[in-house]
Homo-oligomer: A and B are copies of this chain.
Amino acid sequence: MANWKNLDTLKAYDELLELWNEVSVKDVMAGESGAKRVAEYNVPIAEGLTFNYAARPVDDKVLNALQALADEAELADKYKELYNGAVINTGENRLVLHQLCRGQLGDDVIADGVNKRDFYAKQQARIAEFVKKVHAGEIVNEAGEKFTTACQIGIGGSDLGPRAIYIALENWAKVNDCLKMDAKFISNVDPDDASAVLSQIDVSKTIFVLVSKSGTTLETLTNEAFVKNAIQEAGLDASKHMIAVTSETSPLAGNPDYLDSFYMDDYIGGRYSSSSAVGGAILSLAFGPEIFDRFLQGAAKADAAAKETDITKNAAMLDALIGVYERNVLGCDTTAVLPYSQALARFPAHLQQLDMESNGKSVNRFGEPVNYVTGPIIFGEPGTNGQHSFYQLLHQGKTIVPLQFVGFKENQMENDVVIEGSTSQQKLKANVAAQIVAFACGKDDENKNKYFEGDRPSSIIVGDKLTPESLGALLAHFENKVMFQGFVWNVNSFDQEGVQLGKLLAKKVLAGDTDGALKGYAELLDI
């Protein structure tokens, strides 16, 4: 059994704190030293992805200290305990099994009398069977027509991950002739969200995928009612247009109001659920179950790579540790995720949930306050767009923000154009290369307004092309990074008690049970 200790009780952490002034990214990235680092500071992830950390603020000394921290914090052992079925989610007394949806990393995990790998595989097989019937025209609408659109109704983890993945693969699927159905998403309780989506689709040819683990999520049930109204107003039978993704014990399970229901369980948190039926149903409907399976295979390979104990061979663990160094030793509050790929436009929003909801905690996994900072703030937009927006602050602002770039050698669609001797894809890549060096090395100038201090740390994940496999590996890399950071900070990365108070107070407002400021705001907003 691994020892779960607070970061500030570890000897390796004290040693790491000594190294607060060890590396100037500007110095080490200059000239031939920089070239050497770019060539050497690479770790393969999986599916052609490489994590390059040449421009992160590390050297042999820092790396050795981080390895000592990884060892003393028993990161590899904790991961092993997790995938072998230990109760890692202490707050909710639950196992943490999202990796099991995509591969068998260790022992069989038996919980509630069930082999969980079999359970997840069975749900995926049931989804595949259902989806094939939809695509083949065996499951059709009341008029006997094929369904053309799938629309997810869910919020948080039931929305951000599946939506980001759909957007990431939509154009790839078009080019590769496997976009079987358009996917749409309704998430916000703002009635205009559902109205807008409904105005864009032919309800009669749409299957809605209602996603709620508990079957009680207020936003989701409200939007379900909204959509059912629209279906009925179109003279249709809602039960012929909806499937449910839920837990086996929820009121939505096996309910005749739905064409079918597919199951997840309590061992997969919302923000980790893209690999489960939560992502599986909508993405299989959109792209076919084979494509979703390829996505899972990619994730499984990254999961396997994360078992390695040598941090210079384990990209997720190394990325996590350097992040801890930047957060706890160098004092950076924020990290930006900057994919140079328009297809990853909503991937930062998913990572924002994944990271901030997992590690934005002030207590350790035993519920005791910790005396060090934990998860950072995450934001990002695709490059090159961000370059013409907030990069000004990143380059010349007073606050240092570590950067996580993502880039691909090839674009997804086949179309490109040569202008001034280069393709758009070459321009895109040249820009990300240039940015890393600009952030690291800066530029001297007598005009201080044109002076770039440099010494801004970044890393890049480089892939051949954004495909189902590499996207799976990319997602798993970040999931595993967040997991390892949670281990280092000794927090429970798998609960989210911070979302409860707002829910409680919103119910009070709706019940008219208000006083003090709550009453004031209710009046201000005319509720």
Nearest B-chain residue to A439, judged by Cβ: B502
**Interchain CB contact under 8 A, A390 and B360:** yes
- Is A10 an interface residue when CB atoms closer than 8 A count as contact? no
Complex contact B502–A387 (CB within 8 A): yes
Which among A391, A394, A397, A527 has the greatest number of chain B C-beta atoms within 10 A?
Answer: A397
A residues 124-166 near B (Cβ < 8 Å) are: 155-157, 159-160
Q: Kindly name the residue among A38, A413, A417, A430 whose own CB sees the greatest number of chain B CB atoms within 10 A.
A: A430
Residue A392 is within 8 A (CB to CB) of chain B in the complex: yes
Kindly state whether residue A496 has any CB partner on chain B within 8 Å: yes
A247 at the interface (CB under 8 A from B): no
List B contacts of A515 (CB < 8 A).
Answer: 31, 35
A191 near B423: Cβ-Cβ < 8 Å: yes
Copies of this chain in the oligomer = 2
Specify which of B50, B190, B191, B342 is in contact with A196 (CB 8 Å cutoff): B342
Beta-carbon contact of B423 and A398 below 8 Å: no
Q: Report B-chain residues with C-beta under 8 Å of the C-beta of A395.
A: 498-499, 501-502
Contacts of A393 in B (CB 8 A): 356-357, 359-361, 375, 377, 498
A114 beta carbon closer than 8 Å to chain B: no
Question: How many residues belonging to A are interface residues under a CB distance threshold of 8 Å?
Answer: 163
Q: Does A187 lie at the interface of the complex (its beta carbon under 8 Å from any beta carbon of B)?
A: yes
Q: Give A174 Cβ to nearest chain B Cβ, in Å.
A: 7
Once bound together, how far apart are the Cα atoms of A389 and B496, in whole Å? 9
**At the interface, yes or no: A473 with Cβ under 8 Å from chain B?**
no
Q: Is the CB of B229 within 8 A of A417?
A: yes
- Please report which residues of chain A, range 493-509, place their CB below 8 angstroms from some CB of chain B when the two chains form the complex: 495-509
Complex: how many Å from CA A137 to CA B54?
58
Inter-chain pairs besides A54-B520, A189-B431, 8 sampled, C-beta below 8 Å: A38-B517, A39-B520, A190-B411, A191-B413, A222-B424, A357-B391, A430-B522, A437-B505
